[in-house]
């Protein structure tokens, strides 16, 4: 397992190393004026709000894998993403048909952005959701997003996370999939970028 000292503080690699493990994210969605949403119809996986995910994160210094497992507030759902660190930038495998290239970049120590590499890609007019993750030490994080649909901002999302384990080697007891089986699912495919 890569030590955080292998990456300088403030780099993407350092932030990803700090994020390894199993997290409990409590997720809320909001109207643009701050009013809480009881239901989010716009996201790639629409559903009620708030809700809770287990987030499994593996990073070996080059390869990144993340699996989100919904366990409260919405029906069970699991999604997996993969990426690779290249020249200090995280490059995600394509998320689905017509999906633009997504990357992970640093905003300084303890700040990570997941967003499209090129914001002129036509599919981003249909769906775009930049992610900003702030890390508070080793065991707290906040993830904030703004969702755009058809080029217009429609809602925000805030996920407050607490690290449950420093390792994502095994399923957590809260996981509705049970204790046995792999942590990560087959890489997910989304169709939100595809022209209808």
The pLDDT tens digits of the residues spanning 138-152 come to 899 999 999 999 999
Tokens of 132: 């900003």
Task: Determine contact, residues 8/14, Cβ cutoff 8 Å.
Answer: yes
pTM above 0.85, yes or no: yes
Nearest CA among 19, 13, 18 for reference residue 87: 13
Give me the mean pLDDT over the 114-135 stretch: 91
Residue by residue, DSSP assigns 70-86 as EEESS--EEEEEEEEEE
Return the residue matching tokens 């629409």. 46
Residue 159 has pLDDT above 60, yes or no: yes
Burial (0-12, 13-18, 19+ Cβ within 10 Å), 96: middle
Would you list the domain boundaries of the chain? Answer: 4-165
The pLDDT tens digits of the residues spanning 41-69 come to 999 889 999 999 999 999 999 999 999 99
Can you point out the beta strands (E) in 60-172? 63-72, 77-86, 89-92, 102-106, 111-116, 127-128, 131-136, 140-149, 152-165
Residue 89 has pLDDT above 80, yes or no: yes
- Degrees to nearest 5, angle at CA 124 with 37 and 111: 70
- 4-165: CATH superfamily: Calycin beta-barrel core domain (2.40.128.20)
């Amino acid at each position: 397992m890569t030590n955080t000292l292998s990456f300088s503080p403030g780099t993407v690699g350092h932030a990803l190393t700090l994020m390894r493990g199993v997290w409990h994210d409590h997720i809320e969605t909001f109207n643009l004026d701050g009013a809480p949403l009881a239901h989010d119809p716009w996201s790639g996986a629409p559903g009620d709000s708030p809700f809770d995910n287990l987030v499994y994160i593996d990073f070996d210094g080059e390869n990144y894998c993340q699996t989100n497992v919904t366990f409260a507030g919405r029906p069970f759902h699991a999604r997996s993403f993969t990426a690779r660190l290249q020249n200090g930038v995280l490059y995600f495998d394509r998320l689905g048909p017509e999906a633009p290239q997504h990357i992970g970049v640093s905003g300084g120590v303890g700040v990570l952005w997941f967003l499209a590499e090129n914001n002129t890609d036509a599919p981003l007019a249909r769906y775009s959701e930049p992610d900003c993750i702030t890390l508070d030490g080793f065991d707290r994080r906040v993830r904030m997003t703004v969702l755009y649909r058809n080029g217009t901002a429609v809602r925000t999302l805030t996920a407050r996370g607490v690290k449950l384990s420093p390792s994502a080697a095994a399923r957590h007891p809260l996981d509705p999939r049970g204790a046995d089986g792999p942590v990560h699912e087959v890489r997910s495919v989304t169709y939100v970028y595809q022209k209808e």
